[in-house]
Structure 1
Amino acid sequence: MENNRKAWLVVFSGLGVNLTLGVLYSWGIISAALIDDFNWTATQTQIPYMLASAVFALTMIPGGKLQDRFGPKPVLFVSSLLAGMGFIFSGMNLTVAGLTFFFGFVFGLAMGFGYSSPTPAAVKWFNPDHRGLISGIVVSGFGLAPVYIAPLTSSLIAMFGLPTALVILGVLFFLIVFSLTFLISNPSDGVEKVKLKKKPRRTHRLATKDYSLSEMMKTPQFYILWTMFFFGTFAGLLIIGQMSKIGLEQASISNGFLLVVVYAIFNFIGRVTWGTISDYIGRTATLFTMFAIQALIYFLFSSFTNPVALLIGKSVVGFTFGGMLAIFPVVTADFYGVKNLGLNYGVMITAWGVGGVIGPLLGGIARDLTGGYGISYLVSAVLSVLGAVLSLIIRHPEAEDRKGRLGEPDGKTGGST
């Protein structure tokens, strides 16, 4: 019983950390204010966002390594300090260079250190059968954050202006992450894994050893997974970075934070839902389904020119994008073990960082050159199709290669990927 209490405390504290650091997904509110009130171009507004995404992903590597070695507390403490500093000094230096450094670099570091700790810690407390659910709950905070951050940011900007709003947010974010730091820990060696009463019917193929980073990177599955992760997140990050302007220019939706909130709610639902689904039908089957849905919606996205259609389209994108962030840490754990999960997933999530640079950049350039986002939608649709194809190819690294392929299908190996 005591283990159960501690395990769930870690899960929901991790959820709280991600609810705070998920401000990145509200960037559309800040970027709209920069364009409207400070005459920034669409491309300029994406520079701090792109750098934050890249630094976030790259910092997951040292953050994950430190989490594996020292536990989550010291890593989260550093994250709380950087989160506060990043926003406070962004408010004091509201220029392209200022926001690029303080939001893009400093707050990017905060996200990388903060995000790298809660999920590995939470997953280590639970039986592998429940990894999809637990991962989905923890990372759902990052997707759900805009539900309160978007209207809060919008209100603060309206009342005090953007500079002061950023300072207030910085103080708030520091206090929240710092407080939750004391509640998150890895389980001690030998602690029994928590099992939930409702056990999934699916048996998952698990790694028979804990792979080091170098061992993981010697497997072809790592590179396929990385590519799939890039394809899956590229499209979602493009939409997030341009959220408010897409709504206004494509469907005349003037309420920018409404779009952000709707997207965030479905992002949250997607993370928990797809994580749970993967516990029942397998990881690769779940990835194929998400990629297929995402491809279809992006082929149709340019036709969503009325508010209801665009809201539905963005909801579906949020639903599938959120699922990607729940599934890939679980696949990494299933394929390569949990001992080095912080570092291994830290390297895997660099795919998200590359998508965070290229996706918003393409969206901003396409908007400035063509006045719309049609090219961006088409690229996103094609990449989603390729992701679906790869999900049919990849197999567990330890599956027997009887036919010269990357392992056998799930039914022939006695387990799921």
Structure 2
Amino acid sequence: MNSITDNDPAAEPRGFFSKSATIAQPGFSRWMVPPAALAVHLCIGQAYAFSVFNAPLTKVIGITQPAPDDWSLTTLGWIFSLAIVFLGLSAAFAGKWLEKVGPRRTMFTAACCFGGGFLVSALGVQLHQIWLLYLGYGVIGGIGLGLGYVSPVSTLIRWFPDRRGMATGMAIMGFGGGAMIAAPASVALMNHFKSATSNGVAQTFVVLGVVYFISMTIGALAIRVPPRDWKPSGWTPPVTASKMITREHVHIDQALKTPQFYLLWLVLFLNVTAGIGVLGQASVMIQESFKASITAGAAAGFVGLLSLFNMGGRFVWASTSDFIGRKNTYFVFFALGAVLYYLVPQFAQSGNIALFVLAYGVILSMYGGGFATIPAYLADMFGTAFVGGIHGRLLTAWAAAGIAGPVLVNYIRAYEVERGVAKAEAYTTTLHIMAALLVIGFVCNLLIRRVDERHHMNTSTPAIN
């Protein structure tokens, strides 16, 4: 059985970027940690806005119109896909390293990768070499995404044992809202750098790479971990653990031997699958559902509104989970989500735009809420010693859902249209399948129990934060 000393910062080499060098001094306010996490998450949230570069990248040579040698949208689509794949892979494989070296080194590495990925991509645009964009934003930037996503989480959970959900919600809310800053900023930069010989993409990549590196580095320098046995002033841990919250710790390798890990993997996978497919097709979906009423501009507004629900849901639902419990929060996600997915086609057929928009807003709030609540759920089940690494491995569910969700929405819709179903009704079958997936998720969540004591670490040595 692994010892809790496996995660001891005192056992690591000392240095400015070492875990021991980030231990907070007396008087440090824990409220300085969420801004440090946000400095990273608001940057990597740019990933949701990468689509603003798609059209300009198809005209790198032609400038105003695509030239014969310009890249196609299908070729460019692999950039974002690679980034999400490497987000999941880096989060999964670097999780154990994160717990060993601490958040500062991991966050600085994320800054180098994410910022550097933009610079490599800028070179790819300048030389018109697509493989450099795949390598830059897709592989190197994707690694930065994964490391940046998971690195502040375990630290926040340790600083806020009394409000785990709220703490992770504050940071992960930044990932949902980063695109709201990145999208207009990117468009403004491209317009600023546009000329007769350039559409401004390469220069924009350089500026974003530098700005994101600086912001993420500031977050890395500001991050601190709590001292051993630290707890909030005036807060007393429960004498006995609650039914679903343990006071013990499970080693990152041992966690993969528990049924709880795989049930939580399915819980996240099913919740994300149901939301991410809709997120990718929201504009087209509302236009086809209300062809006579919704313009392209109104559809863009709908997408923006969904982003607000996605961002707000990350904080609201995660904070709510501190009061009603993580398991009950996911029960709400699955039960309410299944009902709404079943009813959405009826709202469309009846021409009720308001209920259609409201239903999708709630669905996307629960999509974002699922991301923000799962780290606290993991801490409840496996303890805090290795929660960052365990969270990283669980994020492979996100990578899988990123493929499954869009495939379900796009291919089933195409099949329905091919067999003569009107476009306005082509999503009905897909949405009913999504409802069924959420019912399965409800059952998976129902089956989750406390982790068996045989998986707990040896706690003869005091736990290290």
Larger mean CA deviation between 182-191 and 157-166 belongs to 157-166
Q: 1:339 aligns with which of 363, 380, 385?
A: 385
- 2:134 aligns with 100
Structure 1 residue 148 displacement after superposition: 1.5
Q: 1:298 aligns with which of 333, 336, 341?
A: 341
Q: 1:388 aligns with which of 442, 446, 457?
A: 442
Aligned residues: 396
Q: Secondary structure at the match of 1:188?
A: coil
**Pairing of 1:314-329 with structure 2 (within 5 A):** 314-329=360-375
CA distance in structure 1 between the aligned counterparts of 2:435 and 2:251, rounded to whole angstroms:
34
- 1:274 aligns with 317
Does residue 1:29 correspond to 2:52, yes or no?
yes
**Pairing of 1:66-85 with structure 2 (within 5 A):** 66-85=97-116
Structure 1 residue 196 displacement after superposition: 6.9
CA distance in structure 1 between the aligned counterparts of 2:210 and 2:397, rounded to whole angstroms:
30
Contact kept in structure 2, 1:270 and 1:323, CA below 8 Å: yes
Structure 1 residue 310 displacement after superposition: 5.5
Larger mean CA deviation between 368-377 and 2-11 belongs to 368-377
Larger mean CA deviation between 281-290 and 29-38 belongs to 29-38
Structure 1 residue 355 displacement after superposition: 1.0
Identity across the alignment (%): 28
Structure 1 residue 170 displacement after superposition: 2.0
CA distance in structure 2 between the aligned counterparts of 1:16 and 1:261, rounded to whole angstroms:
22
- 2:91 aligns with 60
What code does the residue aligned with 1:139 have?
I
Change (3 A) 1:381 1:194: farther
Change (3 A) 1:383 1:314: same
**Which structure has the greater CA radius of gyration?**
2
Structure 1 residue 63 displacement after superposition: 3.2
Q: Secondary structure at the match of 1:254?
A: helix
**Pairing of 1:3-14 with structure 2 (within 5 A):** 5-14=28-37
CA distance in structure 1 between the aligned counterparts of 2:413 and 2:133, rounded to whole angstroms:
21
CA distance in structure 1 between the aligned counterparts of 2:325 and 2:149, rounded to whole angstroms:
25
Q: Secondary structure at the match of 1:93?
A: helix
Does residue 1:109 correspond to 2:138, yes or no?
no
Contact kept in structure 1, 2:267 and 2:441, CA below 8 Å: yes
Larger mean CA deviation between 97-106 and 221-230 belongs to 97-106
CA distance in structure 2 between the aligned counterparts of 1:313 and 1:32, rounded to whole angstroms:
30
Change (3 A) 1:217 1:381: same
Structure 1 residue 289 displacement after superposition: 0.4
**Pairing of 1:217-296 with structure 2 (within 5 A):** 217-246=256-285, 251-254=294-297, 258-296=301-339
Q: 1:51 aligns with which of 82, 96, 118?
A: 82
Change (3 A) 1:153 1:4: farther
Q: Secondary structure at the match of 2:384?
A: coil
Contact kept in structure 1, 2:35 and 2:219, CA below 8 Å: no
- 2:395 aligns with 349
TM-score of the two chains, using structure 2 as the length reference: 0.75
Q: 2:41 aligns with which of 10, 14, 18?
A: 18
CA distance in structure 1 between the aligned counterparts of 2:304 and 2:111, rounded to whole angstroms:
24
CA distance in structure 2 between the aligned counterparts of 1:68 and 1:254, rounded to whole angstroms:
46
TM-score of the two chains, using structure 1 as the length reference: 0.83
Q: Give the RMSD, CA atoms, in angstroms.
A: 3.3
Q: Which runs of 5+ in 1 are unaligned?
A: 401-417
Change (3 A) 1:234 1:49: farther
Contact kept in structure 2, 1:57 and 1:353, CA below 8 Å: yes
Larger mean CA deviation between 80-89 and 346-355 belongs to 80-89
- 1:124 aligns with 158
Contact kept in structure 2, 1:28 and 1:242, CA below 8 Å: no
